[in-house]
Amino acid sequence: MLPVGLLDLRHRKHAAGFGALRERRQQPIQGLAERLKRAQSRTGHCVLIRATLGSTAAEIAQLLGWSVATVHVMHSRYAKEGEAIFDVRGRAGRHHEYLTTAQEQALLAPFGAMVSQTSGHGDTRLPHERSRRFFGKASMGEEMGYNFIADGRDEVLTATRETLRYGATQIKAHAGGGAATAYDPLDVSQYTLDELKAAVEAADDWNTYVTVHAYNVRSVRRAVEAGVKCIEHGQLLDEATIKLLADKGVFLSLQALDPAPSWQPANIREKKDEVIRSTDAAFRWAKQHKVKLL
């Protein structure tokens, strides 16, 4: 449950003593949002939330899964260094290899924007951002080209086609809950069968395929029924469902996740622990049944 203060951030004023950041707020917010395209996303959000909403360090820490001290450090760095802090290269790959902005863009470009239902794993809205169906507007993530929030067959068709129009070579959709996100439990299923079929049909018309983020049995079985060609994660599957992937020729992209840091919220730590506990069995069954692993 979010604290009352976090639900009412739009009505807060800036805290005293944050003069440097207050002055930077006068810069066009759209310009700051534009810089987020090449920033580490949580670093950018840490600054943008304070600059636009005036929320406290404690509120931002809870939202981003950081410690309050880390939030203070980022605010202090931004006050001193400005937008230069967005240029720090993030860690990537299983061995934490550093990627340039160009390399990162080239790596992610084939996927285009991810497609998610409202409240899904790819719904990246901050708490103050309302649904565009209910008095809101397109989310920051959508404006940045990071994701589409699409509900119903028609919207999923449009989001898939739009992503392909921008050059994606395959479609990434979210069919179930995530381990590293605060709002969607691991056991939930996302997108109805008809919605997933819409994405698959649009991708098939483009001679390509859909891959989905999913951990649990119901989500994966629904995705397979819809015609999805690849499951990303899948650590919580039972042996029968993993055998189904082998029988259908569906690829499985399992990853060995690290435990969540101690400063992350308890629900995220618990979700990651559940995934980690199930990983060995998933790999064992996948090898036993000769699933096509990525």
Q: Which CATH code fits 98-288?
A: 3.20.20.140
- Find, among 126, 100, 130, 110, the residue nearest to 38 by Cα: 100
Other Cβ atoms less than 10 A from the Cβ of 115: the count is: 29
| DSSP string across 164-220 | HHTT-SSEEEE-B--SS-SSS-TT-B-S-HHHHHHHHHHHHHTT--EEEEE-SHHHH
- And the tokens for 88? 């720090």
pLDDT tens string 78-90: 777 777 766 644 4
The answer to whether 199 touches 156, Cβ cutoff 8 Å, is yes
Q: How is residue 55 written in tokens? A: 């929320």
Express each pLDDT in 229-261 by its tens digit.
999 999 999 999 999 999 999 999 998 888 888
Instruction: Give me the pLDDT at residue 256, please.
Output: 83
- For residues 251 and 113, what is the distance between their CA atoms, to the nearest angstrom? 21
| Count of helix runs (H) and strand runs (E) in the chain | 13, 8
- Please state, in angstroms and as integers, the Cα–Cα distance from residue 113 to each residue in 79, 162, 170, 182, 259, following that order: 32, 9, 10, 21, 27
Q: Report yes or no: 219 and 198 within 8 Å, Cβ to Cβ.
A: no
Give dist(CA 237, CA 224) in Å, integer.
13
The per-residue pLDDT for range 196-219, each reduced to its tens digit, is 999 999 999 999 999 999 999 999
Distances (CA, A) of 245 to 227, 232, 235, 241, 291: 11, 12, 13, 6, 6
Question: Nearest Cα to 117, choosing from 32, 219, 10, 27?
Answer: 219
Q: Tokens in use for 136?
A: 């809101």
Tell me the per-residue pLDDT of 258-294, one tens digit each, with 9 for 90 and over: 888 887 888 889 999 999 999 999 999 999 999 999 8
Give CA–CA dist 91/104, Å, rounded: 11
Q: Which amino acid is at 185?
A: P
Q: What is the pLDDT of residue 14?
A: 33
pTM for the structure as a whole? 0.67
Nearest to 129 by CA among 64, 32, 68, 52: 52
Q: Which residues contact 76 (CB under 8 A, 6 or more apart)?
A: none
Q: Would you call 97 exposed, middle or buried from its count of C-beta atoms within 10 A (0-12, 13-18, 19+)?
A: exposed
- Where do the structural domains in the chain lie, given as residue ranges? 4-88, 98-288
pLDDT of the residue at 24: 43
The residues with which 148 forms a beta bridge, in sequence order, are: 115
Is the pLDDT assigned to residue 33 strictly greater than 70?
no
Total residue count of the chain as it appears in this document: 294
More confident residue, 83 or 101: 83
